[in-house]
Amino acid sequence: MAKIVGAITTSHVPAIGRAIDKGLQDDPYWKPFFDGFPPVRDWLAKVRPSVAVVVYNDHGLNFFLDKMPTFAVGAAPEYRNADEGWGIPTLPPFKGDPALSWHLIESLVADEFDVVTCQEMLVDHAFTLPMALLWPDQRWPVRTIPVCVNTVQAPLPSASRCYRLGEAIGRAIESWDTEERVVVIGTGGLSHQLDGTRAGHINKEFDRKFMDSLVDDPKWATQYSTLDLVELVGTQGIELLMWLVARGALTGKVDKLHSNYHIPISNTASGLMLLENRD
């Protein structure tokens, strides 16, 4: 059966793409952020996953307000970046895995998660930048499955629902009759608010507590409603729901191998965690 090797959770901010393009990794502003990644890359080089399930929130690129799925799963042979944040960066396309996508979709629907299926899908910075941070040579050694969670238009799925989606993804992967090694990547958060009178809002205390909870008490954040979470971590900080999905997918004993937290990158509290999944 396929095996889930672990989860990587990270923030995403379009400015990271620009920093990569300009080679600013050692710039004093960026260094504390980029320095978080080598231990995760070392782990990836050692564990060598063959597939990445990437849980992220689309920002109005592939889905807009006219049609907004709560949960959507890519089932395309290939995904291309189309994010215009700082000019469309030229990134190599990402290989899909339609066989696993359809297994995941069938298993999720059987598990009563009625996801939207996307046989064509454009991906934005929330998908592409974590990939570029994890595999800086951009030769993507994994096939990818995008999983989108709506954080753009109310009503949003609850934290508890997101955690259970993660559990259903974990069951789906582990019922897949192959020898694939799957890493689950969750991108978004941590606390940030880009708009309104609270623009710039960051909540370090909550972020820290949330990161700690993911190791041994991963349902801790599910006590909060989405409105509570928006109040605590900001209108875009709610993207931390992706971390709950990724954590929910871990089926075994979880060890925290690495984490990093740095304030701010752009307007965002940036967090990074590597959680290994033991049998």
Which residues are catalytically annotated?
125, 192
Tell me the window of 36-44, 153-161, 202-210, 260-268 that interacts with ligand DHB (CB under 6 A). 260-268
The contact mask relative to ligand DHB for 49-78 (x = CB under 6 A, - = no) is: ----------x-------------------
267 binds ligand DHB (CB under 6 A): yes
Q: Where are the beta strands (DSSP E) in the chain?
A: 3-10, 51-56, 71-74, 78-81, 94-95, 116-118, 122-123, 143-149, 181-187, 253-265, 268-278
Binding range to ligand DHB, per CB under 6 A, among 9-17, 38-46, 72-80, 132-140: 9-17
Please classify residue 116 by burial: count the beta carbons closer than 10 Å to its beta carbon, then call 0-12 exposed, 13-18 middle and 19+ buried: middle
Query: For residue 1, with 0-12 CB atoms within 10 Å meaning exposed, 13-18 middle and 19 or more buried, which class applies?
Result: exposed
**Binding status of residue 192 toward ligand DHB by CB under 6 A:** yes
Is 201 a residue that touches ligand DHB (CB under 6 A)?
A: no
Give me the sheet containing 71-74, strands edge to edge: 116-118, 71-74, 143-149, 51-56, 181-187, 3-10, 268-278, 253-265
Among 101, 193, 236, 277, binds ligand DHB (CB under 6 A): 236
Q: Does 266 bind ligand DHB (CB under 6 A)?
A: yes
Q: Which is nearer to ligand DHB, 149 or 173 (CB)?
A: 149
Provide the binding-site residues for ligand DHB, judged by CB under 6 A.
12-14, 59, 192, 194, 236, 239, 266-268
